[in-house]
Chain A
Amino acid sequence: MKKIYLDYAASTPIDPKVLRITNKHLKNNFANSMSLHFFGQKAASAVEESRKKLAQIINAKSEEIVFTSSATESNNLAIKGTAFAAKKRGKDHLIVSSIEHDCVLESARWLLSQGFKVSFLPVDRYGFVNLDELEKLIGKNTFLVSVMHANNEIGTIQDISTIGKICRQKGIYFHTDAAQTFGRETIDVEEINIDLLTASSHKIYGPKGAALLYIRKGVAIEPILHGGGHEGGLRSSTLNVPAIVGFAWAAEIMQKEAKNENERLKKLRDYMIGKILTQIPRTHLNGHSKKRLANNINISFNGVEGESLLMELSFAGIAVSTGSACSSKNLMPSHVLQALGLPPQEAHGSLRISLGRYTTKEEIDKTISVLKKIVEKLRKISLF
């Protein structure tokens, strides 16, 4: 059975060229990039070259890029790091959107326990943050606004340039988690007034274990990892040279292909959405029909529960994701779908299908035909 991977938003397979380069560095470029000898300097120059490449993608300066191990770590550093720096200036309030990734929400909730104040910015039915509410929430003690560029579950792309403008006017830092858009969508940190930005390698066909946090020069931030003073003292840890080099190559390839690839994916996406909504009754699209990631599809199937759907698809060799409660630890459906205002049945019956570089029309057609049968089968068992 030919397997079909439609979970590119969770992770991507490594690009073959990136794999070759990463392997080469893993084998030959082993030294500690902090070492002064020529072995170390060879590693250091590979890191710096990568830093430069990655900075260019978002129109940042090399020295504004801090390497980390994951988007989770970058988001933790952005949120907690600016919080502890803000505390010194007597500021203690941050605003995060209610549909952020768990690593942002949990960091914010942890800060609550440390005496900080957190506002959770509501979203409308498409997942767009309420901009009027944002302006209202900003107070004299606010130091940070964190709103993700595009949502990982429903694909909604936020109006980050307006958010950037609001934050700049009020003199507040703006952080955006761009894990789903870095290399895919055009991002210019100068034009959009972004002060901190998170990006990750494994979402763009790079190796796992490398990510970055862009920190605008002059932003007050404290490290969360203390030690040997790597990355300008902001992130102590021996650098993962091969993964970083792979990350930079992956980003470069991604950016080069982005325009054509996004066009191709959008066509496939809209084709699949159209087919599902018309051929399978009692379905509806979550998120916005146009302002969404080129590769994201999120659909609720009334009368069937997401985990059951996912498992049946998995048996048929098709890999997707769900926001159902049954796949989560707290047995509540995804906080993103809840924030959209979906009734329980629709929140429990959602599937996220994310397309990628190797997705073909044949795969989409196959998936639709399998999905039709599975939904029919599960609805026969179901009460609704």
Chain B
Amino acid sequence: MKSLYSKQTLKHFRSPHNFGEIKDADAMGEAGNIVCGDVMNLYLKIGKNKNDEEVIKEAKFKTYGCVAAIATSSVITDLVRGKTIDEALKISKDQIVETLQGLPPIKIHCSVLATEALAEAIYQYLLKNKRKIPPDLLKRHQIIEKSKKIIEERYQEWMKLQKAIKK
């Protein structure tokens, strides 16, 4: 069947890797908003490798969203496993899109959902453990916060509108 989505995307969508929650996660990052129809939670378990570096031992996700949102969530959990924090922060949306053998142009924003959730998880982890936050990550966090705020405003507007209709 010819589809809007690549084979790889559909494979991840239909049999997503590592979905679910990590109950004792060391970090959790949330991205997206229900107003836009995509919300992702990324859970990380962080430990040491044999060189005594901090690495992501385990990653799981829970996502409400479309085909692309679920597929990109699945892919990022594969991509981060075994990576050091620095390496994980270097994962780009392009890398996700590439791993999925492309995404329809209108769905590219879904790959950002995954990188944002990852950045947020690492940010929360460093913050929680009172560690130095790299300037780039801080900047990304601020941008994500800002866009969350904008969407939150949109959400409030929406709910106001809905209340007016229901009257």
Contacts and interface: CB of A to CB of B under 8 A. Distances in A.
B37 A341 contact: no
Interface string B35-68: 1111111000000000000000000001111111
Contacts of B5: 311
Given A331-B106, A339-B165, A341-B162, A381 B155 contact: no
Q: Give the interface centre of A307, A345, A383 by most chain B CB atoms within 10 Å.
A: A383
Interface stretch (B12-20, B82-90, B124-132, B141-149): B12-20
B165 A308 contact: no
B36 A331 contact: yes
A78 to B, nearest CB: 27
Interface in A84-127: 122-125
A344 B35 contact: yes
Contacts of A345: 34, 64
A280 B127 CA distance: 42
A326 B65 contact: yes
Contact of A324 (B19, B20, B37, B163): B37
A329 interface: yes
Nearest to A347: B37
B70 interface: yes
A64 interface: no
A44 interface: no
Nearest to B61: A381
A303 interface: yes
Interface size class of B (residues with CB under 8 A): 35 or more
Contact of A329 (B16, B34, B106, B162): B106
Contact of B16 (A122, A124, A324, A381): A381
B37 A308 contact: no
Given A344-B34, A344-B37, A383-B41, A307 B162 contact: no
A125 B164 CA distance: 11
Nearest to A380: B19
A383 B70 contact: no
B63 A382 contact: yes
A315 interface: yes
Contact of B64 (A123, A325, A341, A384): A384
Interface of B: 5, 10, 13-14, 16, 19-20, 34-41, 62-70, 106-107, 109, 155, 158-159, 161-163, 165-166
Shortest Cβ-Cβ A-B pairs, 4 listed? A326-B66, A341-B165, A307-B66, A348-B37
Given A329-B106, A342-B162, 6 more contacts: A305-B69, A307-B67, A338-B158, A338-B161, A341-B165, A343-B162
